[in-house]
A and B are shown apart, each in its own frame.
Chain A
Amino acid sequence: MTTENTKTTANIEKRSSAFAYAPAPESRSVVDIAPSYGLFIDGEFVEAADGKVFKTVSPSTEEVLSEIAQAGEADVDRAVKAARRAFGKWSALPGSERAKYLFRIARVIQERSRELAVLETLDNGKPIKETRDADLPLVAAHFFYYAGWADKLDHAGFGANPQPLGVAGQVIPWNFPLLMLAWKIAPALATGNTVVLKPAETTPLSALFFADICRQAGLPKGVVNILPGYGDTGAALVEHPDVNKVAFTGSTAVGKAIARQVAGTSKKVTLELGGKGANIVFDDAPIDQAVEGIVSGIFFNQGQVCCAGSRLLVQESIQDELLDSLKRRLSTLRLGDPLDKNTDIGAINSAEQLSRITTLVEQGEAEGAERWSPACELPSSGYWFAPTLFTNVTQAHTIARDEIFGPVLSVLSFRTPDEAVAKANNSQYGLSAGIWTEKGSRILAVANKLRAGVIWSNTFNKFDPTSPFGGYKESGFGREGGRHGLEAYLDV
């Protein structure tokens, strides 16, 4: 095996030079980032009450992009008050009028999508290919989809005349900054709530640009408020007594803390938390398609995806063949400048996240799993991690249990469908899973047995605003997307 591997690697190197592409960088001149931004409260950009600021950097270059006001408790209070004031009028608007605001927002996002894609890539580090082709179209689609619900709530299946809850406090992560904003804000506004949203400290820019989109759309003041800040800002928002609804996407640990905080209150809560998705490949699966699915499952957005297929479960009889194909494919992935249109793997979002990934990967090695990465040169500045896969992994290994949230795939094998199901379900999480087989009855039977909220068969990492998304078990509760996504913001 070892000599064969060396030979394969040599072949791969030869091949990859034939695949060398000239750089194709997207221009960053389409986006104009101001040197500093305030908080967005009651339709205005304002300083933080205590004058605190923080810097947001580009993860691929460590360049400081802008200085951002950091919201404290007083600012949270101010924003919640503004949202409360706006709530009366906003919720009293006819649904058809609220719909028109949301349609306007969807259209402005489409018009400005190139600018926003570049901005998101700069602030988050993910490839422009993904922001341009995945994030932004989905962001616009979410607003468009929920716009259409605003005047049809009587027909959504929650009884006649369902009412909004009031002020929604929303805390979103850094992996899909604008998309998570859309998932949260679009259904909240469609149902007549007003919002205070806290973007992640490493990716506040697109949310602040969204504030400008609200201005262009003529959205009434106070309906949307944006408060950049750290975890303590989020905690203050969740705890604020005048918040009626808490929506959080992020880690399971923080999700549990929030569940404890809202206990005994009347606050409605939805949580979209971590995952450790199993991607199950049966021996009759089309190998090439499965390899593509595995790659998009774990290397999309550098694996910083809660529903990533981070555990590959492959049927023993095809394990060698599949791994050879997978390694060959990984060797063709291009890592580097996220603004380059040819880039597949961008930067890790922050130094902190990079160190978490590094620690877990070292633990994987220490526990006896076998680490492999393609030949891959990392840029000298910024936060980078080469695509990595682990073989010889058992279910007891930390890397098979803990969410790594990075471009790291753990490979396990199985012999029978029952064993695959048992291993897939052997997790505290239950967000996503993948099934690869040509056999329809097997897809349906296995999908039926998997304890996960989203199952992709013969595909992976597909999203659509019409489709409910959310987890079982410790991956949280509530669904976002589809008519199910309305429930979290209505008094039902």
Chain B
Amino acid sequence: MSEKPKNTEKPKSAEKAEQQRLSVFKTYKLYVGGKFPRSESGRVYEVTDSKGEWLANAPLSSRKDARDAVVAARKAFGGWSGATAYNRGQVLYRVAEMLEGRRDQFVREVADSEGLSKSKAAGVVDAAIDRWVWYAGWTDKIAQVVGGGNPVAGPYFNLSTPEPTGVVTVLAPQESSFLGLVSVIAPVIATGNTVIVVASERSPLPALSLGEVLATSDVPGGVVNILSGKTAEIATPLAAHQDVNAIDLAGADDVLAKELEVAAADNLKRVVRPQAVDYFAAPGIERLTAFLETKTVWHPTGALGASGSSY
């Protein structure tokens, strides 16, 4: 760099060369167990923007990918559910931080995927970032809101506390490929569950990029596993999987949802049926509580009442 060009103005030819620079494409990969594998099947499918222009090839996951994701999610469950609620809150907030830094990338991807203007896409991404912040604040509060001590009529002390139900499969909403996605993943992991999410079939790219963010956000590998491909194809083995504890059918149409709910009955998975949701609206706590169990622990106290104590 010692030889600086004498003329500080860029030569016309150099400008031209810059314009013609060939951009580097990204190979979009799955996010499973904290790693970025291609689909085991070796298949991809073409992802286009709203005008039908080619954007990228996304992995077309197989049922084997789905099973691998369940194994990864189960493996991660002990550590994640055992982490303190405070720690989980920190990690969720870290996701918001990382997303904020990559805001422009997601604005571009959301705009391309969903055919939105730059400013609309920016609104979507901002809302998604804020949603991580909202759920980051819930991790250490939900137990106080939905649990508590019960005033039993006897010399006992008992407490009801919420606990994560386990491994949760989420079919991400089809239309809202990023805000909808975040809105269905964050509440599941906020409470200590681990998740296998099937990205929007038509617009999987923001979801696959989210994997890259999660990998650098202190989220332990396996807590979130992201699959792309045909929703019906991946969801069917997941709904029937005996090591999945719950399923959110947000991204399934009515016919598929019914079929999956029937399959889910085999080990009595907790099912969240598809429903119309405005993902821009305040989410409330329904999606947090849907994946919680309530555990009530009893213990004797000394005898209470007029007869005196027995301790």
Contact = CB atoms under 8 A, between A and B. Distances in A.
B258 A273 contact: no
Interface in B210-236: none
B299 A458 contact: yes
A462 interface: yes
Interface in B250-285: 254, 257-259, 261-262, 264-268, 270-271, 273, 284
Given A263-B262, A474-B267, A476-B268, A459 B156 contact: yes
A276 B267 CA distance: 16
A472 interface: yes
A249 B81 CA distance: 29
Contact of B297 (A266, A447, A464, A474): A447
Nearest to B246: A477
Contact of B298 (A157, A256, A454): A454
Contacts of B271: 263
A266 B285 CA distance: 20
Given A256-B265, A263-B262, A468 B297 contact: no
Interface residues of A, number: 41
B304 interface: no
B154 A256 contact: no
B254 A455 contact: no
Interface string B279-307: 00000101000000111111110000000
A260 interface: yes
A443 B160 contact: no
A452 interface: yes
B165 interface: yes
A326 B56 CA distance: 69
A443 B150 contact: no
A7 to B, nearest CB: 35
B265 A260 contact: yes
Contacts of B284: 159
B294 A468 contact: yes
Nearest to B255: A264
Interface in B144-179: 145-146, 150-154, 156, 158, 160, 165
Contacts of A473: 245, 267-268
Contacts of B258: 263-264
Q: In this complex, which of A256, A452, A467 has the most chain B Cβ atoms within 10 angstroms of its Cβ?
A: A467
Contacts of B265: 256-257, 259-260, 263
B270 A477 contact: yes
B299 A264 contact: no
Contacts of A453: 293-296
Q: In this complex, which of B146, B262, B293, B300 has the most chain A Cβ atoms within 10 angstroms of its Cβ?
A: B293
Interface residues of B, number: 36
Nearest to A258: B265
Nearest to B266: A256
A255 interface: yes
B294 A484 contact: yes
Contact of A468 (B160, B245, B261, B262): B160
A469 interface: yes
Interface string A438-467: 000001000100001111111100101011
Contacts of B270: 477
B298 A455 contact: yes
B152 A273 contact: no
B108 to A, nearest CB: 38
Contacts of A319: none
B266 A455 contact: no
A141 interface: yes
A457 B262 contact: no
A252 B268 contact: yes
Contact of A462 (B154, B165, B264, B286): B154
Interface in A396-448: 428, 443, 447
A468 B257 CA distance: 30
A157 B297 contact: no
A470 interface: yes
Contact of B299 (A457, A476, A492): A457
B299 A459 contact: yes
B268 A259 contact: yes
Contacts of B257: 264
A479 interface: yes
A159 B266 CA distance: 33
Interface string A238-263: 00000000000000100111011001
Contacts of A428: 267
Contact of B268 (A474, A482, A484): A474
A264 B294 contact: no
A284 to B, nearest CB: 15
Given A263-B265, A477-B268, A477-B270, A467 B150 contact: yes
A383 B160 CA distance: 38
Interface of B: 145-146, 150-154, 156, 158, 160, 165, 245, 254, 257-259, 261-262, 264-268, 270-271, 273, 284, 286, 293-300
5 contacts: A255-B268, A464-B152, A466-B153, A474-B268, A482-B150
Q: Which 6 A-B pairs have the closest CB atoms?
A: A264-B258, A259-B265, A263-B261, A464-B152, A466-B150, A467-B150
Given A454-B296, A459-B298, 7 more contacts: A252-B268, A259-B261, A264-B262, A457-B299, A459-B156, A467-B158, A468-B160
